[in-house]
Structure 1
Amino acid sequence: MSLGGVTNTEGSNAGGIFVQFNQDCTSLVAGSSTGYHLFALTPDDGIEEIYASRSGQETCLVDRLFSSSLVAVVTVSAPRKLIVCHYKKGTEICNYIYSNTILAVKLNRSRLIVCLEESLHIHNIRDMKILHTIRDTPPNPRGLCALSPCVEHCYVAYPGSSAVGEVQIFDAVHLNAKCAISAHESPVAALAWSSCGRRLATASERGTVIRVFAVPDRTRLFEFRRGVKRCVTIACLAFSSCGLYLAATSNTETVHVFKLQEGGAGEEGGAGETAGAAAAGEADTWLGWLSAAVSAGAGYLPAHVADVLAQGRAFAAARLPATGHRAVAAVTRVSRSPRLLVATSAGVLYVYALDAAEGGECALLRQHRFLAPEEAPGSADPQVATGNSYAGALRGRDPAAMTDSERGRELGAALEPSPPRGPFDLRDPDHFPPIAVRAPQH
């Protein structure tokens, strides 16, 4: 996404705000003309602003590490500079300046990835030191890359060619190339990892076919057709945390949800079926009839025709009330109920009900305007940690003046998860801290 002077970044949408969900879809981050903002997604289908930087600097990229206090920021005034912050303490932990514009920043609990047009830089998130640089990558003007949220399978995916849909997989822990996947005939336009880091979803610039591959064995597990009427630009692919659903947004008004059903046991199973779940009632449509005909007599049709008709269809779909803005999606659970969340660069969050049994058309439950692109944000007081911390001493200091021990301590504090905010769900054990049970004394 881009604002002002930063262009051609991943999912650019001039004049809008940068917006994305964090890695576990518990919060929403946004960058506007006045700074960056963090929002908590509450168990009652609501949204609550938990922090506003109020820096006055136009922010083009921002990412929050899960529910921690660690935030990475890039501003329009300094597009080559990465700023790493502890947002609760209001401290800037460190910053790095690169040789070219930063197009994307990706985080997990082990690594931080900075993507430039022709290189990727891998940082150790514990001390922010650069561990490795992947140089001379194929031209990647949109900064397309994806980092697995899983530390055990800490892979980076990025385009291996600017002419065809090849994807390179790099192991960010062992710092070596893992494999290359021939995903599409045309260049890759979208990438997404499942939460386990063993499945990669891809879409090409044609935007009609979405594929899911097993990594590192490169097996094609699923193939879905978004539509047959027209080519579109896929803006976002997103797995649900359980790995059962894959959402796709585009430059059209429709958000598709595909169901990754297979014969094995859940998301970690084997290849299973090579076609996804059909939309509810598809058997009664002409396309469903053709798919059944293909299954019965595939040997009598040309291979390319059989492949098209055998591709999986969307399990569910949602229609956005407004179009013309980039949209990012997340499939999550709110109070144990499946939800499709769609946030747009216009500063609007749509909450849809997802019928896990029937699929079909998703009903719009709530709509939140969390930020207006051209107006100043509301006054959300920054959270300031108190007690035994460096917050007071370090706020406003040049990060270059920090000692290694000070920086390490600040990073360690920032990596600690924050407690949940908003209404508590008494049925959800994640909303309560672990209770130590003391042995009875005799």
Structure 2
Amino acid sequence: MINDMVAVVLTSSIHVLSLPTLRRAALLRIPAGGRPLCDLATAPHAPAHLLAAPAHRKGALQLLDVTRAVKGGQSSSPAVLNCHKGVLVCMSLSALGTRLATASERGTLVRVWDTGAKTLLHELRRGSDYADVYCISFNPSGSLLCLVSDKGTLHVWSCARAPAHLAAAPAPPATRALCAFADDSTTTVICEDGTFHKFTYSAEGTCLRSDFEYFLQVGDDDEFIQ
């Protein structure tokens, strides 16, 4: 969601709606049966409000400039980027939309792309064994990237000119999770089991879990019925 638009992912299409009228501003066709992947560049001062979504070719991704689609001044056809040989399972745009991170069903590598030039910037290795990547997230400036997967590890990388693996810390492996940056030295992980984890790391590579809470008591619905 950006200031005046929201993207709604359906079975075989993504609808971008203008707020508050809910008038359709753009439509993007996506392959049916895959994961409902979608991301928007959310910064108000972004050079282009990009929408990223899977393409119909395996491992490929579509990039649509929603601003152009709304104004109608230029072609609204999406650009197609061939990212991986395997099926895409996770993606993330930086807030400005200048960087894109992708992971495939193998889960061994994260690829970082320049969305303007449509070129590969970095390959970041998560590990050598297959993994189901749950979430990839940039910090607001797009200089850092974090990832969580079913291997039970939070990874943090620098995405500068010379990329570096900054930290790895144990995270719950048995439940799906989302990760995000609180600031450039703190990452949070929110898990499907109702737990919240905060990790603090340093440039020297140390990483510690600095906070942990149960923010939601997960259980059967009838437990909450009086």
Give the TM-score taking structure 1 as reference length: 0.46
Instruction: Tell me, yes or no, if the aligned pair for 1:241 and 1:332 is still in contact at 8 Å.
Output: no
State the shift of 1:207 in Å: 0.4
Deviations 1:113-168 (CA, angstroms, capped at 9, x unpaired): 00112111110124221123224x2224321111111343211111113x621001
Cα separation, partners in 2 of 1:261 and 1:342, compared to 1, 3 Å: same
Counterparts of 2:87 and 2:41 in 1: how far apart (Å)? 21
Instruction: Tell me, yes or no, if the aligned pair for 1:179 and 1:216 is still in contact at 8 Å.
Output: no
Partner of 2:50: 155
Moved more, 126-135 or 189-198: 126-135
Partner of 2:61: 167
Partner of 1:14: none
Deviations 1:188-236 (CA, angstroms, capped at 9, x unpaired): 11010111111110001110010111113211111111101x1001110
State the shift of 1:178 in Å: 4.0
Counterparts of 1:190 and 1:199 in 2: how far apart (Å)? 14
Q: Which of the residues 223, 238, 259 maps onto 2:137?
A: 238
Q: Does 1:143 align with 2:36?
A: yes
Q: Does 1:366 align with 2:225?
A: no
Instruction: Tell me, yes or no, if the aligned pair for 1:348 and 1:370 is still in contact at 8 Å.
Output: yes
Q: Which of the residues 153, 172, 182 maps onto 1:332?
A: 182
Counterparts of 2:142 and 2:121 in 1: how far apart (Å)? 13
Q: One-letter code of the match for 1:339?
A: T
Partner of 1:217: 117
Q: One-letter code of the match for 1:177?
A: S
Q: Does 1:252 align with 2:146?
A: no
Deviations 1:19-52 (CA, angstroms, capped at 9, x unpaired): xxxxxxxxxxxxxxxxxxxxxxxxxxxxxxxxxx
Instruction: Tell me, yes or no, if the aligned pair for 2:154 and 2:168 is still in contact at 8 Å.
Output: yes
Partner of 1:398: none
Q: Any unmatched runs of 5+ in structure 1?
A: 1-106, 263-272, 278-313, 377-442
Q: Which of the residues 79, 89, 92 maps onto 1:179?
A: 79
Counterparts of 2:157 and 2:122 in 1: how far apart (Å)? 10
Identity %: 28
Structure (1 or 2) with the larger CA radius of gyration: 1
Counterparts of 1:119 and 1:365 in 2: how far apart (Å)? 41
State the shift of 1:173 in Å: 1.6
Partner of 1:198: 98
Q: One-letter code of the match for 1:344?
A: C
Q: One-letter code of the match for 2:209?
A: L
Supply the RMSD in Å over aligned alpha carbons: 1.7
**SS state at 1:173 partner:** helix
State the shift of 1:249 in Å: 0.7
Q: Which of the residues 1, 10, 13 maps onto 1:119?
A: 13
Higher strand share: 2
Instruction: Tell me, yes or no, if the aligned pair for 2:153 and 2:173 is still in contact at 8 Å.
Output: no
Counterparts of 2:64 and 2:200 in 1: how far apart (Å)? 36
Give the TM-score taking structure 2 as reference length: 0.88
Partner of 2:198: 351
Q: Which of the residues 110, 126, 130 maps onto 1:226?
A: 126
Q: Any unmatched runs of 5+ in structure 2?
A: 70-75, 222-226
Cα separation, partners in 2 of 1:365 and 1:157, compared to 1, 3 Å: same
**SS state at 2:67 partner:** coil
**SS state at 2:7 partner:** strand
Q: Which runs of 4+ in 1 moved over 4 A?
A: none
Counterparts of 2:106 and 2:194 in 1: how far apart (Å)? 27
Instruction: Tell me, yes or no, if the aligned pair for 1:246 and 1:260 is still in contact at 8 Å.
Output: yes
**SS state at 1:174 partner:** helix
State the shift of 1:187 in Å: 1.1
Instruction: Tell me, yes or no, if the aligned pair for 1:140 and 1:159 is still in contact at 8 Å.
Output: no
Counterparts of 2:151 and 2:160 in 1: how far apart (Å)? 26
Q: Which one scores higher on RCO, CA 8 angstroms, separation ≥ 6?
A: 1
Instruction: Tell me, yes or no, if the aligned pair for 2:54 and 2:62 is still in contact at 8 Å.
Output: yes
Aligned residues: 213
State the shift of 1:245 in Å: 1.0
Q: One-letter code of the match for 1:164?
A: K
Counterparts of 2:205 and 2:52 in 1: how far apart (Å)? 30
Counterparts of 1:259 and 1:205 in 2: how far apart (Å)? 23
Instruction: Tell me, yes or no, if the aligned pair for 1:164 and 1:186 is still in contact at 8 Å.
Output: yes
**SS state at 2:112 partner:** strand
Q: One-letter code of the match for 2:217?
A: A
Instruction: Tell me, yes or no, if the aligned pair for 1:147 and 1:193 is still in contact at 8 Å.
Output: yes
Instruction: Tell me, yes or no, if the aligned pair for 2:110 and 2:126 is still in contact at 8 Å.
Output: yes
Counterparts of 2:173 and 2:217 in 1: how far apart (Å)? 16
State the shift of 1:375 in Å: 6.6
Counterparts of 1:221 and 1:122 in 2: how far apart (Å)? 28
Counterparts of 1:358 and 1:206 in 2: how far apart (Å)? 29
Q: One-letter code of the match for 1:219?
A: T
